[in-house]
Chain A
Amino acid sequence: MTISLYLDHDTWMHRLDARTKILSVLALCILALLYSHPFYLAAVWGLVFLGVVSAKALANMKKISILLVLLFLYSAILWPFFVEGHTHIFQWGSILITSEGLTFGLGMGLRLNVMVMSGILLLSTTRLEDFARSLQRFGIPPSMGFAVTLAFRWVPTLLGSISMIVQAQRSRGLDLSVGSFVDKIRGYAPLVVPLIGHTIRQTMLLAMALESKGFRPSRRRHSYSQSHMTGLDYGVLFVAVVCVGVSWRLRVMGYGV
């Protein structure tokens, strides 16, 4: 079983250095945070969508399409109850829905979508190792970056174990669909205990396995990765900075609020 969202294509976005991609995604999120009006956020959404198409990452976006729709709906439905405004649309007791609230809700739904899609864009085009290495270059301790890659690497194995454990306990008659609320929650113990027990029991062995392959927390790690900043990277970063600058200016001038 593999769970990584990385898609092995050769697009211009795949060729970018991971640092450029992280900073660009950050820039996209800043754009999304600067505006709250749905029209402007729709434009940012379009920009991210173009990125997804050109990175051939539509497959991943399809995978989470339901999530995107639901996040949009949560936001669009919930915010109007909490945002005040002048243009009343509906009132029931103390609950007041205004046009401003609805607009804000739509905008925030789009903002959530932009952020999630930017994340998907990054994960679809960046190998986990490159991602971890970039975090390291941004100053995160190497051991921490390594732990993130290790954890990522073990998740599919553990999902496999969970499926085995669920099958083993079901075959012994464990049925989480019956019983009271408390019974159901406590019924998770026969699933979670073998998972943690089985995993933690291997801790020493895994630590030995790591050191047998040369890993030491104190040891400097040299990267043989070919990735380095090219003209394309600098170009993309320049465009990102210009976009953020222009958007900031527009926002200060009162647009997009």
Chain B
Amino acid sequence: MNDGRSGWRTCGWVSDLTSVWQDTTLIVLTAQIAAIYAAILIPFKVGIPIIPGFVELRPANAIPLVASLLFGPAAAWGAGIGNLIGDCFGTLGPASLFGFLGNFFLGWVPYLMWGNLGPLSSGKPPYWQSWTQGFELTTISVVSSAVCAVTIAWGVELLGLLPFMVLAPAIFLNNVVMGLLLGPPLLAFLYPRVKRWGLYYRDLSDARIQREASPVVQVDSELLAKSRRKAIRDEFMVKLEDVTFRYRSADSPALHRLSLQIRAGEWIVIMGPRDSGKSTLCHCLNGLIPRFAPGVFSGVLSVGEQWDGVPRQSESVGLVFQDFDTQLIATNVEQEITHPLEYLDPPLSSEEVRRRRESVLHQVGLEGLASRDPLTLSGGQRQRLVLASVLVCQPRLLVLDQPMTDLDPDARLSLQNLCVTLRQQGMTIILVEHEPSEVLLADRLYVLDHGEICWEGTPQALFQSPGLPKQFGLASSLLADCFVDLGLSTLPITVEEAWRVTDERGIVLDPGNDMAIRENGMAEEGGQCNGSCSSIQFQSVSFEYVSGVPVLKDVSLSIAQGEFVAVLGKNGSGKSTLGKLVSGLLLPSDGSVLVRDQNTTVTPMTELSRMVGYVFQNPDHQIFAETVWDEVGFGIQNLGVPDDECEQRIVESLRSVGLDVGRYRFEDPFSLTKGERQRVAVASILATKPDILIFDEPTTGLDARETDRMMTMICDLHRQGHTIVMITHTIHLVAEYAARCVLMHDGTVLADAFTRVIFSDPALMRAAALNVPDLTRFSQRWGHTLLTVNEVKAALRLP
């Protein structure tokens, strides 16, 4: 039950409502509810102008009821603020005050009433599982809708804007219908998940009370004193001794007796497979753990001059998250950078603020963009902005948690250069990363597994050692893999090192006749299309989201049945738009797209979804069902496939993506890992049996093992006869798997040929702001363009 914790005591109401503004998590929840409410309201506002609640039935009206039963008072504030934000798109005025109040009540009354209706209360959790719960939900929905409708309509008539008798019934009807039809399924889906994530209001307030009552940090004072003396003597910036942290809900600790020391000015890299404790360690360093994550912390962790052994929020630690967009909070670049300085005590002089702001903008290369909205910047620029907003506080330790994940090659390079500059300026850097090529400039590398350090040394030592990275589940250097059979004790990891090894040992690269034919593009698998067998055809296609700003310009291409084509290009080059045009999700502004000779403009979506399956980059944008089984079956049920065939197709699809039917059938897809969720998303597409599969950045955010598994699965699907279109900016995957490559740049097709032909022209790749993979560059010294480890291995000729 909810648990309107304050029951009918009015003094409890006030403390419940004000407590929201004293807790960061509740403030975030409030803002999220407001943003969700506004985001669902706005599309209905823009098209159909309305006085609050008037004329149109809007799905958003179920949100305050649902949020109220899950998040208590945060929903009341969130609904009020969300409605106010919605008003800012056209109807802001004195009536907005009554809109705020009405929606506040709509988000407040359900929380107060659930569990507090005496004999009418079900005494059960707030969703419709039994008739008593249904009755309680109906009563609450009717009462809260009435309170909301009367408040708004009374206020609007008071202002003389519209008659009460017109507005009140419209709002009431709208709220009740949406609350009763959409509320129950939403609660059934969301309640168990919100409970599991520890965000149910009662659980949140219990956790806060528990945190305040009993400390979760155990400090060994003897160990601390010894550690402090040694750390000061040795000038350590970071010192961890026997640090263990276990999340409350976990069976095993995320960090286990972890000890490491980092000197001031060092650049450290942390690597490890998924769930090895990397992010937990980052969050411990500036005290976000254990403050935010309920659990038990023990050991000594000290940063900079802070030597009390407890992880503390510290201005001396700057942290850039993997999902850096979460750290953007202002509406222009200048405000974003100034914001962290507003919390400094004592405050800085205006002159110092200006000086620091200009200095960091210069440092990260964002001069001249001070008045831009962060959302209008590219991914790389947004990340550098977050970095600037961290650097402006002049931290002594910079922690970067997987910063390269969403960046294209140019943005990666500029971030790497920035790290080099910062180290030269004396900054201590901790970088968490997956890609071997991004970490070679660092001083030291730690491999983390199951919360423990299992290897320590230089990045070179790790990647030059045969077999070592694989042993820890890490990606290895592909160049090193080529030399692994030669019995070298130290493998080359850069192209220059590889050339040196070949020179010293008199090795030459000679692919032989068979490979020579392949290099001429004569015998690549799949072959290129000749039009008659085309599965997909673009005929002079242009597309624009906003009139006058073309995203695709006059694109013509043809993809044959059974081909494996990679669409390659930097972020914003038009790759995803191309994919969505194939699937009919977008329709061309000019020209036509034919899928198996059917024009997407006139073919119904249900028809197209039988031919084309689009696997989105983020599986969370589609997952909603309670079980994996239902999630996979959603698409085919929409297509009206009979039940017995549905069952068969679900089983086949789950098998195709390597998920065991028995084990996963009743799993909640939200509880799976990102790699598993991605597989569920693919299975749900496969169930509709499309010939053509489009994968949009299928490996983003996956670790080395998950990437391997994903690519093996895509190759299996290709072998089964599917046409594969893979959109990516990960160049080595294209080299390894795709016979043909479409190189996109600035909305145009820069080149469309066999991957080998495109990769043989480094200048062409540069024109698309990409580089050829190291492996290929290595082979080009001998005039060949080799793409995979196996090809290079086979071509190495010993003297």
Contact = CB atoms under 8 A, between A and B. Distances in A.
Interface of A: 1-6, 8, 29, 33, 36, 64, 66-67, 70-71, 74-75, 78-79, 81-82, 108, 111-112, 115-116, 118-120, 122-123, 127-129, 141, 143-144, 146-159, 161-162, 164-165, 167-175, 182, 185-186, 188-224, 226
B373 A190 contact: no
A172 to B, nearest CB: 4
B397 to A, nearest CB: 13
Given A151-B81, A151-B82, A172-B688, 7 more contacts: A75-B162, A155-B42, A167-B585, A173-B638, A199-B32, A212-B327, A224-B338
Interface of B: 21-25, 27-32, 34-36, 38-40, 42-43, 49, 51, 54, 57, 59, 62-63, 66, 77-78, 81-82, 84-85, 87-96, 159-163, 165-166, 177-178, 181-182, 185-186, 189-190, 193-194, 197, 199, 283, 286, 288, 291-293, 313, 315, 319, 321, 323, 325-332, 335, 338-345, 347-348, 350, 353, 371, 373, 375-376, 389-390, 393, 580, 583-585, 605-606, 609, 612-614, 616, 618, 620-624, 634-636, 638-639, 670, 684-685, 688
A155 B618 contact: no
B27 A129 contact: no
B609 A151 contact: no
Given A185-B59, A193-B190, A220-B345, A64 B90 contact: yes
B148 to A, nearest CB: 19
Contacts of A156: 375
Nearest to A28: B93
A115 B194 CA distance: 40
Given A116-B90, A212-B321, A213-B340, A194 B35 contact: no
Contacts of A64: 90
A170 B684 CA distance: 13
19 contacts: A1-B375, A2-B375, A4-B373, A116-B90, A150-B28, A169-B622, A172-B622, A172-B684, A175-B605, A191-B59, A197-B620, A197-B623, A200-B199, A207-B28, A208-B292, A210-B28, A212-B327, A222-B347, A223-B342
Contacts of A172: 609, 622, 634-635, 638, 684-685, 688
Given A186-B182, A203-B32, A224 B624 contact: no
Nearest to B166: A78
Contacts of B331: 4, 6, 127-129, 149, 152-153
Contacts of A215: 24, 343
A147 B31 contact: yes
Nearest to A152: B85
B621 A161 contact: yes
A116 B622 CA distance: 37
Given A67-B90, A173-B635, A144 B38 contact: no
Query: Lowest 9 A-B CB distances belong to which pairs?
Result: A119-B92, A173-B638, A115-B93, A172-B635, A151-B34, A214-B343, A158-B39, A193-B624, A168-B622
Nearest to B318: A212
Contact of A194 (B30, B313, B624): B624
Contact of A211 (B95, B185, B291, B670): B291
A192 B81 contact: no
A171 to B, nearest CB: 5
Contact of A205 (B27, B96, B321, B347): B321
A159 B54 CA distance: 22
A192 B43 CA distance: 14
Given A150-B329, A158-B35, A119 B624 contact: no
Contacts of B670: 197, 201
Main secondary structure of the interface of B (DSSP, over half): helix
A209 B42 contact: no
Q: Which of A1, A150, A161, A165 has the most CB of B within 10 A?
A: A150
A108 B159 CA distance: 9
Nearest to B198: A204
B30 A147 contact: yes
A122 B34 CA distance: 21
A29 B95 CA distance: 10
B518 to A, nearest CB: 36
Contacts of B375: 1-2, 156-157
Nearest to B24: A207
Contacts of A182: 181
B373 A112 contact: no
A149 B162 contact: no
A204 B21 contact: no
Contact of B88 (A5, A112, A206): A5
A146 B329 CA distance: 9
B94 A29 contact: yes
Contacts of B323: 202, 205
A130 to B, nearest CB: 9
B94 A115 contact: yes
Contact of B22 (A161, A198, A217): A217
Nearest to A69: B49
Contact of B161 (A108, A128, A175, A208): A108
A62 to B, nearest CB: 12
B335 A129 contact: yes
Given A82-B163, A155-B42, A222 B186 contact: no
Contacts of B606: 173, 175
Nearest to A167: B585
A214 B340 contact: yes
A225 B353 CA distance: 10
Contact of B190 (A33, A123, A128, A197): A197
A11 to B, nearest CB: 15
A129 B446 CA distance: 42
A188 B181 CA distance: 10
Contact of B393 (A141, A192, A214): A214
B132 to A, nearest CB: 22
Nearest to A201: B197
Given A172-B634, A172-B684, A196 B186 contact: yes
Q: Which of A149, A167, A173, A195 has the most CB of B within 10 A?
A: A173
A197 B668 CA distance: 12
Contacts of A219: 343, 345
Given A194-B624, A200-B197, A150 B31 contact: yes
Contacts of A185: 57, 59, 177-178, 181-182
Given A146-B27, A172-B638, A210-B28, A203 B199 contact: yes
Contact of B327 (A82, A209, A218): A209
A164 B621 contact: yes
A70 B49 CA distance: 7
Given A116-B92, A123-B92, A189-B182, A211 B326 contact: no
Contacts of B92: 116, 119-120, 122-123
Contacts of B613: 171
Contacts of A207: 24-25, 27-28, 292
